[in-house]
A and B are shown apart, each in its own frame.
Chain A
Amino acid sequence: DSGVTQTPKHLITATGQRVTLRCSPRSGDLSVYWYQQSLDQGLQFLIQYYNGEERAKGNILERFSAQQFPDLHSELNLSSLELGDSALYFCASSSPGEGTAGNTIYFGEGSWLTVV
């Protein structure tokens, strides 16, 4: 158990709908990362937050948005869902000193999203 908690674990929704994925980082971690992993694909970096502020942005679609709250939990909002958005969405966290050099980030178990 990495200490990173993601909810929900599984989600099935229809095209055009909107969902919110939630992530609680490890205690003490200030950075939160979101990754998307489609079937048999690598991990695509979406976005990173550090202590509430957006720090880095990857290939995140305009239909997707995220934020990190004062209690450091983060939410990833996916709207106008398409079939191709079906994927495993991972949240990860790191503490100051880690992650900033890419050496260690800790992943949650992921949220499986199926769009039908």
Chain B
Amino acid sequence: KNEVEQSPQNLTAQEGEFITINCSYSVGISALHWLQQHPGGGIVSLFMLSSGKKKHGRLIATINIQEKHSSLHITASHPRDSAVYICAVRYEAGAGHNTDKLIFGTGTRLQVFP
């Protein structure tokens, strides 16, 4: 079982729909990252969060540390949001974990149709 699980694996939506992508993890973490990978292959960092909620434009990321769960929401989705969204976590210090490393989920492929 992966330490970072994302759901769904694939998601299709009509333009304008509200999108939710989920990320669950099984270890104690110090931070969680959301990344976006466009069809051209480039990877861009969207959010880094350790508690609460962050918002940037139409994107909202939330995290619940107690439940070991994070969500990425896209409001008023648009075809240009079509991409793979990747969740990654950094271990918290202690328990022998290397806190310099990120552990990645396998990604959620989102397609938004006009």
Report if A and B associate in a common complex. no
B→A interface (CB under 8 Å): none
A→B interface (CB under 8 Å): none
